[in-house]
A and B are shown apart, each in its own frame.
Chain A
């Protein structure tokens, strides 16, 4: 469903991604691991279409369509979801209201009528239980005053309500205690199905004990240095990334 071929990208003139190849088929969960600054978030942002992330080579296809031609909202409406590493606060906009606006935007794109209020309410409540979220969070402004853990949980909750076909989760585990981590993982696992693909970005192997990936890729200096099965994560946990860091100058050339 997602095909990334020979992808190069720069940020503020600096080369960050240096030829990435990655193919994710429906139903697969891929994990990307790598040291800080290796370009994990950059890859996530490029997939989501954030401004300032300039693709200088290669392509990304989503169900055969050229993703790079679409603006961010179109990508979202096509079913691409990004759980942000740092979710942003939107003061005064109730979480529930925001979600409804998002759901209706996607429905409109698909030519569907706005969601029925009761149906929406039922869906929201069902999904809230999935991530063990308190009802009070619905009325609070989007991410405003949320703890780090609440923000991450809210991302998974949004994903559960929007039910995208492909989700990138950018370090959704960082900053979570073990209980919160389990809740988030349970939420993700409940959404896994033969049609849905996941790209789980993490710095730690810990998350992958709970969200067991089909493939693990090691991202170093903007390239996939190695790919393997879930056991690769354990290996990395023991050996660290030092092994892969032989060419530290490569991606860090100053602009």
Chain B
């Protein structure tokens, strides 16, 4: 083995930076899942009857379902009765009214994570909603947004304050029957974010949610609903971390996006859940359903994701292109190392005329990491002149990792133009030597080359996020140099 291959392998094993646990009093519901638990969650959130009924219907359906087996990921059976379905930081009285009232320990956690909750948020022009385990702990910058008629709040609050909107759209893109994990989420979801951008309003700042799993033995089931009315624009960012624990933890979120006529939603994720240790112990099971509906004509939904964490990632942010001339985009970087597994991709369902979709997927595998791209491009008979371009590139670091591409294409309208390109490459010795000859160390050369590989995706991210993503990838590849 050459020196640079050795360095590559060493780079592929480094430590998780966000593995600390916050020592905070938690209110946790005993493990187990039954109708009583669901009633309890619903009661804690003072939900209306229709929502409880919806949860129960989903739960009854879930009981009839089997865990899906088709993804290229492997894990022992999950004991759903061993998971606690609700955990919340204990709070006195009614809960925080302003940012100052948030538990200082919690704020320190977010500071450690580099999350700009309050003043920093305002300076940075980022409005943050932070979800800690099951509840949304703070939503900054709310007043300013309210002046524009923008609603950005926790899902629970939306259920109370904007019940009609929630009722109209909840489950309209991801029905409770959609898939095993979405059904589970529909029964037990605890909190999440809600966004509504009124007609003609361009949201003046990036909206951001930060998810954190802290409690042990809990699942996180958040639910996010974003609605962009006619002509509205919003860019939404989502980041996630979790403490380092030996047991696996389940994260099964559902995100629904709705774009009406001429509306645009950009949804960016930097996912850095705890990936497990170098031997593959522990880590988050990230089983997420994300889907956007381009409901109106000339609407646009763009997913950008940088997936670096989790023991297993199973997610397919998708677009249903119903409106004429609507556009769906999916830009993804997924990096796996050690024993991480990722099965990710997208579905672009073309229904309306002149609908267009773009898929750019970059998979990086190191160590024993396994990375699968799974994508579906479906052109329905009604989708006259639909166009899709897909590009799936894989980068392998070392020879024990794997990359797999499963593109499914279904064309039911002859006017469609669908193009798929795929490539698999390695960081070559020649590239490394070229960089080193210019004075750049192997380690920096690797991150330079990897960042170059990811560039088409990174350039879709908002500026600060792109920098963060780049740093994350560097950290991910950085070894304990010695």
Residue A205 CB within 8 A of the other chain: no
Contacts of B428 in A (CB 8 A): 88
- Contact with A90, one of B4, B436, B441, B449 (Cβ below 8 angstroms): B449
Q: Is the CB of A92 within 8 A of B439?
A: no
Residue B434 CB within 8 A of the other chain: yes
Residue B444 CB within 8 A of the other chain: yes
Contacts of B204 in A (CB 8 A): none
Residue A105 CB within 8 A of the other chain: yes
- Contact with A105, one of B444, B451, B452, B454 (Cβ below 8 angstroms): B444
Given A87-B434, A88-B430, A158-B438: A51 and B451 interface contact (C-beta under 8 Å): no
CA distance A98 to B438 in the complex (A): 9
Residue B437 CB within 8 A of the other chain: yes
| Interface residue total, chain A, C-beta cutoff 8 A | 28
Q: Is the CB of B448 within 8 A of A72?
A: no
| Interface residue total, chain B, C-beta cutoff 8 A | 26
CA distance A92 to B448 in the complex (A): 9
Given A51-B2, A91-B452: A105 and B433 interface contact (C-beta under 8 Å): no
- Contact with B455, one of A77, A88, A92, A162 (Cβ below 8 angstroms): A92
Residue B456 CB within 8 A of the other chain: yes
Residue B429 CB within 8 A of the other chain: yes
Mask, B406-437, CB within 8 Å of A = 1, is: 00000000000000000000001111011111
Given A92-B452, A93-B451, A141-B452: A50 and B433 interface contact (C-beta under 8 Å): yes
Which of A105, A109, A162 has the most CB atoms of chain B within a 10 A radius of its CB?
A: A105
Q: Is the CB of A92 within 8 A of B437?
A: no
CA distance A91 to B453 in the complex (A): 6
CA distance A71 to B433 in the complex (A): 10
Contacts of B452 in A (CB 8 A): 90-93, 141
Using a CB-CB cutoff of 8 Å, which residues 447-464 of chain B contact chain A?
Answer: 448-449, 451-456
Q: Please name the residue on chain A nearest to B438 by beta carbon.
A: A102
Given A51-B4, A51-B429, A52-B2: A106 and B439 interface contact (C-beta under 8 Å): yes
CA distance A51 to B434 in the complex (A): 12
CA distance A73 to B428 in the complex (A): 17
Using a CB-CB cutoff of 8 Å, which residues 325-353 of chain B contact chain A?
Answer: none
- Contact with B440, one of A50, A51, A101 (Cβ below 8 angstroms): A101
Binding site for A on B (CB under 8 A): 2-4, 428-431, 433-442, 444, 448-449, 451-456
Binding site for B on A (CB under 8 A): 48, 50-52, 71-73, 75-77, 81-82, 84, 87-88, 90-93, 98, 101-102, 105-106, 109, 141, 158, 162
Q: List 20 A-B contacts (CB under 8 A).
A: A50-B433, A72-B437, A73-B439, A77-B439, A84-B434, A87-B434, A88-B430, A90-B434, A90-B448, A91-B452, A91-B453, A92-B452, A92-B454, A93-B448, A93-B452, A98-B438, A102-B440, A105-B439, A105-B441, A141-B452
